[in-house]
Structure 1
Amino acid sequence: MSDASNSETPLRTIFEISLNGKTVSISTVGQAYRFLTNFSSVEWMEFRSLHADAVRWLQGAADNAILTVPATDAVRALFVKAKVL
C-alpha cells in the first residue's frame, strides 16, 4: 500500500479553498489526504462518515489511479457538505 500523503496522483479537478484568508489549491491525492488528515478528528466530527469515505477513497487512489474519479467525488461531497467550497 502506497503512502497516500505523498501521492502525486492528480485528482480529476483542482479544489480552491479559502483558509485563513489565503487560497489553498488541492490538485493531488496527497494534498487532499494531508488536508483531510492534518486537522484533528474533532474538526470533521460532524461529517464523520463523509470524511471516512473520502480518506478511504484517497488511500485507494494512491495505489490505483483509476480510483481518482470516486476519490474526487468523495472529497467534493465532503467539501460541499462542510461548506468549504
Structure 2
Amino acid sequence: MTNASHSETPLTATFKIKLNGETISIDTIGQAYRFITNPGAIEWMEFRSLHADALSALGSAARNAMLSVQATAALRALLARARLL
C-alpha cells in the first residue's frame, strides 16, 4: 500500500495558500495530504465531512494516479470552504 504522505503524484492544479504570512504551494498528493493531516494553524473539525472526503480522495489518488482529478476537486472544496483560496 502506498503511503499518501510520500506520494509525488501531481495534482491537476497548484494551490497557493497564504498562511501566517507565508505562501505555501501545494502541487502533489503528498504535499496536500501532509498539509491537511499535520496539526497546525487550521482546525479541520469544523469541516469534518469535507476533510474526510479529501483524505479519502488523496489516499485513493496515491494508489491510483488516475484519481488525481477527484482528489484535486475534493481538496479544492475543502480549501475553498475553509476560505484558504
Q: Please report the TM-score for the alignment, with normalisation by the length of structure 2.
A: 0.95
Unpaired runs of 5+ in structure 1? none
SS at match of 2:83: coil
Indicate yes or no: 2:59 matched with 1:59.
Answer: yes
Aligned to 2:47: 47
Give 1:39 deviation, angstroms.
Answer: 1.9
* Matched pairs, number: 84
% identical aligned pairs = 62
Runs of at least 4 residues off by over 4 Å: none
Aligned to 1:12: 12
CA distance in 1, matches of 2:67, 2:79: 18
SS at match of 1:8: coil
The amino acid across from 1:60 in the alignment is: S
Unpaired runs of 5+ in structure 2? none
Query: RMSD between aligned alpha carbons?
Result: 1.2
